[in-house]
Amino acid sequence: MKIATWNINGVKARIDTVLDWLKEASPDIACLQEIKSVDENFPREAFEDLGYNVETHGQKGFNGVALLSKSPFDEVIRRLPGDDGDEQARYIEGVISLQDSARSVRVGCLYLPNGNPIGGEKFTYKLSWMERLQKLALEHLAAEEAFLLLGDYNVIPDPIDAKNPDNWKDDALFQPESRQAFRELANLGFTEAVRATTDGAEVYTFWDYQAGAWQKNNGIRIDHILLSPQATDLFKDCGIDKHVRGWEKPSDHVPVWVNLAA
């Protein structure tokens, strides 16, 4: 069972690239961020033609998340709980019972706020959003189910996760508060998939469009997959589809995926 996450940076601009990747990688479940589309304009038919069930939580021009699954959804939850006034479309969650299996998984797809500039309301929103995410995670962990929390976290966890960490010292992605909140979330009982398989350097998921970042491999790792203990028991391997960044009209992020025992 292959479960993937990818910030596609606009479904309208990136539709052909996303479809090509789905055909190549064939994930059973895919979590997409920054679809930048309202629900009614999302090109669901193109994904359905590839055999995917589609659920979205969209927003015009900004944000937006989507779930694709080859198996039907048993349950879908839109919006991160904890703030009824939050109108930003950054979270969607689905429960999927796998075909030809008695197993089900709960998948939370997130697009965590960027938080820049630091010291302002956007940074405060980022940290409060992470607090709400921790509360939700605790509830799901208590249920002792196979649960994955994956997406664009907009957090660089450690200096090794950036080619040039000094360049990020004044950025919300690398602030001590952001990194601490990510550690607190992971330490609730999750396994961070990529770092469970490698402690190596130059493992990145994002390369800016500016200053030849891709050509210089000047990247950062901000797209993460967290596995509950029950999901960790099924964990086989994971990977980063770095080559997709070199395709025509790429996103500045690349897909990250895990394989779980079916």
243 is catalytic: no
The three-class DSSP label of residue 64 is coil
CB 146 within 8 A of CB 163: no
Amino acid at residue number 131? E
User: Residue 41 annotated as binding?
Assistant: no
57 is catalytic: no
User: Residue 253 annotated as binding?
Assistant: yes
Q: Which residues contact 200 (CB under 8 A, 6 or more apart)?
A: none
User: Residue 224 annotated as binding?
Assistant: no
User: Residue 7 annotated as binding?
Assistant: yes
Host H or E run for residue 207 = strand 206-207
Amino acid at residue number 200? G
152 is catalytic: yes
Q: Exactly one of 152, 161, 171, 223 is catalytic; which is it?
A: 152
Q: Exactly one of 52, 111, 153, 204 is catalytic; which is it?
A: 111
CB 15 within 8 A of CB 50: no
CB 43 within 8 A of CB 51: no
Bridge partners for 239 per DSSP: 257
Q: Which residues contact 139 (CB under 8 A, 6 or more apart)?
A: none
Q: Which residues are annotated as a binding site?
A: 7, 34, 152, 154, 252-253
Q: List active site positions.
A: 111, 152, 253
Q: Which residues are annotated as a binding site for Mg(2+)?
A: 7, 34, 152, 154, 252-253
